[in-house]
Amino acid sequence: MSVIAFTKDEKALLVQKLKDYFEQSLDQEIRQFDAEFLLDFIGDEVGVYFYNRGLYDAQALLEQKIETITDGFTELEKPTAFVR
């Protein structure tokens, strides 16, 4: 698996979201460094589970779409004396 990397702006936004969450939901202030450290930890230790879930969901959707396309081919097929 390739490393998932965020741009500087994306990481800044995620860090700010963590800081806001701590302040609004936990009534605690978290410093910039601590928020960045927490984001890295979440990404390294927990993020892969979310990443894999996204892959599984994408795979299921693709399989569903392929089945729909395959059914479409069957509908287009003309009757013949040959049995498939």
Domain ranges of the chain: 8-76
Q: Look up the pTM and report it.
A: 0.71
Averaged confidence pLDDT in the chain: 93
User: Measuring CA to CA, how many Å separate 50 from each of 1, 63, 75?
Assistant: 14, 20, 38
Per-residue pLDDT tens for 48-83? 999 999 999 999 999 999 999 999 988 888 888 887
**For residue 41, pLDDT beyond 80:** yes
**For residue 39, pLDDT beyond 90:** yes
What was the pLDDT predicted at 8?
Answer: 96
Query: What confidence category does residue 1 fall into, taking pLDDT thresholds of 50, 70 and 90?
Result: low
Contact partners, residue 35, CB within 8 Å, separation at least 6 = 15, 16, 18, 19, 22
